[in-house]
Structure formats: C-alpha cells, structure tokens
Structure 1
Amino acid sequence: MGAMSRALLAAVVPFVLLTAAVPSVADPLPGGLGPCAGPACPGTFPPVNNGPFTGRDEAINVFVGGTFAVRGGAAEAEGKVVVGGGFDLAKDPGGSAVYNIGIVGVGSRVPPPEGSDFLTTGGSVTVATGQRLLADGGVVRHAGPATGTITGKSVQDSAAFAGFAPLTAQLQAASTCYATSAATGTAVNQGHQTLFTGDGHSALQVFTVDFDLVGSGGGQQGIAFAGIPAGATVLVNLTGDARKIVTYTGGLDDTDPVNALRPRLLWNFPTATSVTIGGLSQFQGSILVGNPGSTTTVTSPGTAGRLFTTGSLTHGGSTNKGQELHAYPFTGDLPTCAGPPTTTTTTTPPTTTPTSTSTSTPTSTPTTSGTSDSTSTTPSLPLTTTTNVAPPVDSDSSSGLASTGADVGWLTLIGALFVIGGALVTVLVRRRRQH
C-alpha cells in the first residue's frame, strides 16, 4: 500500500466512524409544536416585512384552548390558528373593520399552505355587523355556527377541533413541568429594564421570575440578556397569579439583540390567571400559558413567535392600533417532560416528535426576584433535562426545517460516508493484491 493510499485511508475511516455519532434532536413542545412544518418551510424566517411569500408553514402558530376574542384595534393573526372554544370578532368602532387570519399584510410572510385550514374552532365564529373576517386563500372550519361576513371558504364541521383537543392537557402539563426547572441565572428588575444574566455555558438557560416586567408606575421598560451562549435555549418561567410584560424592546429589522434569541426564547406562565403582553414593541419569543382558567391579553403592536395558551385569548386593546400576531417558529431544546403519547390529529401530515435518552438532574442555582439585589437558593427538583445538544446556531437565524427532515439528512449523510469509506477500502485492498 503506497503512502498516499495509507494517508487517504487514515483520513476517511475515522471521519466515517465519527459521523456515526448523530447529535440529538431538540425536544419541542407537545405534539411537535414549535418548529415550522411541511415541505415548503424556508431555511430562514425573514424579519417582519410585507414582501413576497418566502415559504409555507403547516404548523399551528396560535393555539387557544378557550375562546379567542378580537377587540380594540387588532388587525391580524398570521399562520394557522386553532381555537377550542368560539372565535368572536368585535373590534372598536371607528377603526379598521377587518381582521386578517392566515395570510397577513405584514409579518414573516410564511403563511399556511393554499387551501388549508387557516382557522379551526371548536365553537362558533361570530363576526360583528359591519366587520369582516378575511381568510382569503384558506378555510375557516368551525364546529358551531358562523355568523357575519367571512371571506375564504367557510365549512361547518362538528368534529373540527376533536383532533386538537388533547393539546390543552398536554400544554398544561408541559408548562407545569418547565416551571420546575432549576434556574441557571438571575433576573433583576432595574426599573428602566429587566436584566437576565445567564451562567455563560449551559445549553438551556432557565430564569424564574416572580415579578412583572414593567417600569415605574407600570410603564414600559427594556428587556436585556447577558451571559447567554450562542445557540442556547432560553426558558423564562414567570410565576404568580397575574403577570405583565410591558416593553419597548424588539423591532422590525432584527437589529435588537433580543430579536436574535427569538427562535429559542420561550416565556412560560404556568399558573397565572391573567397575562398581559403590552408596550410599543414587536414582542420577541414564543408564549406558553398553562392555566386553562386564564385570560391572556395581547395589546403590543406585534408579536414575533408562537402563542400557545390553554385558556382564553383577547387580541387587541385601546393602547395601540393595528395589533398583529406574526408567525415565527420556536426551535429551542426544552426539558424532557414525561407525559401521555401525542394523539393529535391534523389536516396535514403529522410531525414526528423525537426524544433524547441522555438525561441529567439539574442542580441548585441562585435566582433573583423583584428589584432586590439579594439572591435566594432554589432547591433542585427531580426534573430531567436533555444533555445532548444540537450544534450552536447563528444568533441571527433559525432553522425552518421540521425535525424529521433533519434526521433523514443525517442518516443519508452517514450512509453515504460509509459507502465511500467501504469503496475506498475495497480499492486499496485490490491494489495491495496487485502488488
């Protein structure tokens, strides 16, 4: 065997063997919720814009276990919307009389597939006289009656929500589970801003917050993160019966540092009966509300992330005009929470939810609450979290591929490398025999 042949063999064989160690896939929310789904997902979701479509997303962007009320100056909800109760459109008079759903004028511009269900309800759809629900290009599928003006295709189906019903209990259990995660950093309300300081190295950064993210007198304040390693998931657990976030942090062009965390940032409200998201910004990150008896009110000009609540949702208020819910995926790696198998039925091909088998128990870490600078130790809880983490992702981008697609890509690559390695070994053996 010549020197060049030995060198090639030495280089290829270890490479083939090393690539067999496939990194684990992130644990998503229940039912595979969070990532973009379907074959038309874009590689990167663009900043909020009004340009041409950059892809299609079959995943749920807004899930409401209770009722969905459109009020005030609310303008639109992008992506697929699923509601367990009724959908009620009754905006303030004197403003715009329409509410877009599915496809919107300004957002990520990654709508659901053409002709798919843009809105699904387990109850009625009610549109106030003189107002219009616009679902052009899609279907409004409702279990109860529909009254008022609805564009697009309206279909009454008594079983419309049946396949999604298990998600309410699954999301509640997940929200409760996530809240038991030991904190890895501190959060301090400094008045002008709330500063989240991570430990600088954990792949899952966890913060426990028992205060509102508001400024003096309940006004706006900034939100800032420090000590967050590239590619880390950020889980903020906001405890208490009522919580408010009123912020000016977040923008349209993704220049704000918090925007870079958006694909892996989850705001979790496990017990609150009242949740308010307001201010004058494009609120960044996905929202999970775990209390089925809750009401979440969103009055910010826009949100950029998934919105999943087991309770009811009120979109819109008098503080802003043109409030919008924009469709952006959540791709973070969350704690592994044991629960019943997913049985959700959708109108699109189901997404496989991968699991990781390597786990560890979190340790106690200090947390800081309110405006105090003192710290208190949070006891460790018997919650397992994944330790195998996917490679870091650039901070200004998010993966738009479903997790099942990523698995196939790895397997294909591994198979190809083994074939190449085997072929090279065969060639080298033959050459050796010839000599």
Structure 2
Amino acid sequence: MTLRFSHIGRKLLTSLVAGGLIAPALVVAGGAAPAFAAPDECPPPGLMPAVDNDGINGIATEPGGAIISGAQRQRLGANQALDPFGDFDQRLQNESRTLMAVEPTGMMRNPWGGRFEPLGDGVSSLQVFMLTAAQASAVTEIDFANVPGNTPILINITGGPVTMSGLSWVPIDGVRVDDPASSSTALGNAASRIAWNFATATAVAITGSSQFVGAILAPEAGTTEAR
C-alpha cells in the first residue's frame, strides 16, 4: 500500500499523541444479552454495544438516544461546509513551531550506527527529545528509557528532507511496542503517546515493512508512506 500526501491538510492527524491503531483486547461472543443502566444508554437500531475483556459496555448517548449533539444541515456547498476547517493548515503550522520550541527534557544517546536511545528525565509531563534530519534518516532502533508510564513523548526533528526506511525496533522501558504479535495493546498505546514533529522539513518519506509508531506532524512537507 502506498499513500501519498501532497498537502498536510489531507493527513489524518488530529493532535499531539493522536497516533492511532488503538488495539484493545476484544471478546466476540454470540448470544450476548447486555444490560443497560438506563433507556438513554441503549444503542439505536443497527449499532452494537462495545465488548471488551471487562464486560459489555453501553454506548454514551444524549437524552433521547442521539449519538452526538448538534443539528443536521444539508446543501451547504463545499465552501460553507469546510469553513470551520479553513485555518487547519495554519493551526498545524503554529502547533508544530510551538512544539519545536520546547526544550528537550532528556538526552539522545547514539551508541552506534542506527541505534538511538532517548533517555528521559523520569518526571516531566511531556518527554521531549531532539533528532537532526540526518539522524532521523539513519534510525533503525529507538529505545526509550526512563519515561513515565502513559506520558506523551515528543520527538522534534530539525532540518530536512527526511527518509525513514529502517526503523524496526521500538522498545519503551525495555518492552518492545512495535510488534503487534507481542501484545494486543502495546502498539496502540505507544502510538497514542508518541509524536514526530518535522517542523521545517519540506519532504518526509516513511517507508519499509515495519510498524511506524506514533503520529506525524509535518506541516511544510509533502509526505509519502510506502508499505
């Protein structure tokens, strides 16, 4: 699969730590009879309740059963319909610059070749590390250590262009998270914590056959993901 984005507005990126591929452990059971605490919690026809290892959970709804708030509007036309998102590109550019200005909270060690070891400070609510474009292009392993559990991780990349093709080993505090066979939740949880910020790169290529862990913020770049 090859995905090409000529403009950041087409990327599926919502915010920092919005990596995606959240993979909770699921249970599929036939003949389940969920019990809801109140009528408002019952899903509308055609929708199934959420089922996980902790049991069957109802769907949160508005009073009367509506899934979301707001009124339905039709025949707006493209300009009016998209108007609330007209400044999306600028917002991403501003966010990227703001994140790039955050001082690193940890150090980036490079013991050999493509192995990089971000060492956190163990206490900051946002763990921040820095790579150059050349370093990011050379990464084959990135081994995070001393980062508090569930703390967001920001990797700022200076310069460009960047081609990342060999990243295939991503442990966090000793636990590999980029192998979906090792855990049903580790990959998704890690992806939701990590953001790669290519603030000034005009070209970013993410290639290879391995899982890329994290969200990508590249407001100045055309981006390519090839699998």
The TM tier, using the shorter chain, reads 0.5 to 0.7
Question: What residue is the counterpart of 2:9 in the other structure?
Answer: none
Give the TM-score normalised by structure 2: 0.57
1:201 aligns with 2:113: no
Question: What residue is the counterpart of 2:224 in the other structure?
Answer: 297
Of 155, 180, 186, the residue aligned with 1:252 is 180
Question: What residue is the counterpart of 2:208 in the other structure?
Answer: 279
Q: What's the CA shift for 1:34?
A: 5.9
Q: What's the CA shift for 1:225?
A: 0.5
Question: What residue is the counterpart of 1:130 in the other structure?
Answer: none
Of 191, 202, 224, the residue aligned with 2:113 is 191
Counterpart of 2:224, as a letter, is T
- Give runs of aligned pairs for residues 165-180 of structure 1, distance below 5 A: 165-180=86-101
Question: What residue is the counterpart of 1:237 in the other structure?
Answer: 156
- Structure scoring higher RCO (CA < 8 A, sep ≥ 6) equals 2
1:237/1:268 contact within 8 Å kept: yes
Counterpart of 2:154, as a letter, is L
RMSD: 3.4
Q: Deviations over 1:261-303 (max 9, x none)?
A: 3212111111000111122211111111122xx211111x4xx
Q: Percent identical across equivalent pairs?
A: 29
Q: In structure 2, do the counterparts of structure 1 residues 288 and 195 end up closer, same or farther at CA, with 3 Å as the change threshold?
A: same
Which 5+ residue runs of structure 1 have no aligned equivalent? Answer: 1-30, 37-43, 53-154, 302-435
Q: 3-state SS of the aligned residue for 1:284? A: coil
Distance in 2, matches of 1:177 and 1:254, equals: 35
Counterpart of 2:22, as a letter, is F
Counterpart of 2:88, as a letter, is L
Q: In structure 2, do the counterparts of structure 1 residues 270 and 214 end up closer, same or farther at CA, with 3 Å as the change threshold?
A: closer
Q: In structure 2, do the counterparts of structure 1 residues 254 and 157 end up closer, same or farther at CA, with 3 Å as the change threshold?
A: farther
Q: 3-state SS of the aligned residue for 2:144? A: strand
Q: In structure 2, do the counterparts of structure 1 residues 48 and 179 end up closer, same or farther at CA, with 3 Å as the change threshold?
A: farther
Distance in 1, matches of 2:119 and 2:105, equals: 9
Counterpart of 1:174, as a letter, is E
1:251/1:259 contact within 8 Å kept: no
Q: In structure 2, do the counterparts of structure 1 residues 236 and 224 end up closer, same or farther at CA, with 3 Å as the change threshold?
A: same
Q: What's the CA shift for 1:193?
A: 2.0
Q: In structure 2, do the counterparts of structure 1 residues 242 and 214 end up closer, same or farther at CA, with 3 Å as the change threshold?
A: closer
- Give runs of aligned pairs for residues 141-156 of structure 1, distance below 5 A: none
Give the TM-score normalised by structure 1: 0.31
| Number of residue pairs aligned between Structure 1 and Structure 2 | 154
Q: 3-state SS of the aligned residue for 1:225? A: coil
Larger radius of gyration: 1
Distance in 2, matches of 1:192 and 1:288, equals: 22
Q: 3-state SS of the aligned residue for 2:207? A: strand
- Give runs of aligned pairs for residues 8-407 of structure 1, distance below 5 A: 33=15, 45-46=22-23, 157-159=77-79, 160-189=81-110, 190-210=112-132, 211-215=134-138, 221-246=140-165, 247-249=167-169, 250-253=178-181, 255=183, 260-291=189-220, 294-299=221-226, 301=227
Q: In structure 2, do the counterparts of structure 1 residues 167 and 183 end up closer, same or farther at CA, with 3 Å as the change threshold?
A: same
Query: Which contiguous aligned blocks of 4+ residues in structure 1 show a shift greater than 6 angstroms?
Result: none
1:241/1:273 contact within 8 Å kept: yes
Q: In structure 2, do the counterparts of structure 1 residues 265 and 35 end up closer, same or farther at CA, with 3 Å as the change threshold?
A: closer
Counterpart of 1:181, as a letter, is V
Which 5+ residue runs of structure 2 have no aligned equivalent? Answer: 1-12, 30-74, 170-177
Q: In structure 2, do the counterparts of structure 1 residues 251 and 280 end up closer, same or farther at CA, with 3 Å as the change threshold?
A: same
Counterpart of 2:130, as a letter, is T
Q: What's the CA shift for 1:234?
A: 0.5
Q: What's the CA shift for 1:258?
A: 6.7
Distance in 2, matches of 1:233 and 1:198, equals: 11
Q: Deviations over 1:30-75 (max 9, x none)?
A: x974688xxxxxxx932699x89xxxxxxxxxxxxxxxxxxxxxxx
